Each structure stands twice: as C-alpha cells, then as structure tokens.
Amino acid sequence: MSSSARPAIEPFDLGAMPKKRWMCTVDEMLVHAPLRRIFEFAREVDRWAEHLPHYRWVRFHQRATDGGGLVEMAAWRPFGSLRWPTWWISEMSVNESAPNVRFRHVAGITKGMEVEWSFARQGDKATRVRIVHLWNGPPVPLAGIIAAKAVIGPVFVHGIASRTLAGLAAVAERGPGLSRG
C-alpha cells in the first residue's frame, strides 16, 4: 500500500528546538519571494527532487494531517566531479502559524539530529529563511562529537542544506509554480 493510500496520521509533536547540542549549523538566506511561496516549496519535501538536482529522492512512509509525516530523504553531497550518497529518515511537522517546518532524524547516520526551517517576512516581497541543524553526533564517545563538529556538520550538513536553500530560493523567486499538473 502506498503512503498516499494510507490514512493520515496525527502530526508529530517535535516541540521547540533544543537549547544546545555539540554541533550547530546555520544556513540563512534572504529570498526575494513572498513568505507563503517559499514556505510552500520548503514544506512540499516530496517535490524537492523535481527542483533540486542534488536530491536523489524524497518519499513519505506516512503522511500526517499537518502535511508532515515520516519521510525518507536521500541526497548527493558533491565533491567536484564526485558525489557522496547520503540518506536519512525524519519525523516532520509543519506549523502554519509559526511558520516553520521541523524535522527529527530517526534513522541514518544523523539519527537524533534536530532541524528547523523558519521563515520571517522582510517587507512584502522578501523572506528571511533560516535552517538550523542541531546534533550531538553519532553515538561514539568523543569521536562522534569530533566527527559531527569537524566533518558531518560543516562538510555534509552545510553542503547539502546550503544547496537546498539556494535551489528552493531560485525556484520561489522565478514565480508561483506550485501546481502539480
């Protein structure tokens, strides 16, 4: 049975972002598009592979009534002509009133990572988009913290998140384009 045929589940309550983790990466950009437009592109994660060449796939295992759910994501981290495959599963929640999109990685090397996309209106035609990733690293004493802070955060997380944000910003800045047909 496909995820679209299953009944929607209750939204995940991911709460506020944690106060502190060993690794923190922040990617931020002023997007020259109305808040609603960039928010819609960000929340429609199952369409990211259509817009972003570094995404291999995004699949919902279960959808929630808020538009989030249990989502599997896979992306490439390019290194020149080489590409490193990455993969994770997240619980995802969408908060229309904040507005924000929250993720908690529940499978993959980044299990336990907390992610928040937040959006702030900057006048009528621009939006400040901020992506924060917080994590304590893989469960390997000391080596996990070092790997998270020195390699996984700045090289992989930032490398993928910055491309994702720039790519979605470019799509949003081109115009509405939200129709699925």
What are 28-58's pLDDT values in tens digits? 999 999 999 999 999 999 999 999 999 999 9
- Give the burial class of 181: count Cβ atoms within 10 A of its Cβ; 0-12 exposed, 13-18 middle, 19 or more buried: exposed
| Tens-place pLDDT, residues 8-23 | 899 999 999 999 899 9
Q: Is residue 33 situated within a structural domain?
A: yes
The CATH number assigned to the domain holding 56 equals 3.30.530.20
Query: For position 180, what pLDDT does the model report?
Result: 41
In a domain, 17, yes or no: no
- For residue 9, is it within any domain? no
User: What is the token pair recorded at 25?
Assistant: 């990466």
CA–CA distance, 37 with 169 (Å, rounded to integer)? 10
What is the rounded CA–CA span in Å between residue 45 and residue 67? 10
Minimal CA–CA distance to 27: which of 104, 133, 123, 108?
133
Q: What is the pLDDT of residue 86?
A: 95
> How many structural domains does the chain have?
1
Give domain status of residue 12, yes or no: no
* Rounded (10°) CA dihedral 66, 136, 54, 173: 60
Structure tokens at 64: 């929630």
Percent of the chain at pLDDT > 90 equals 85
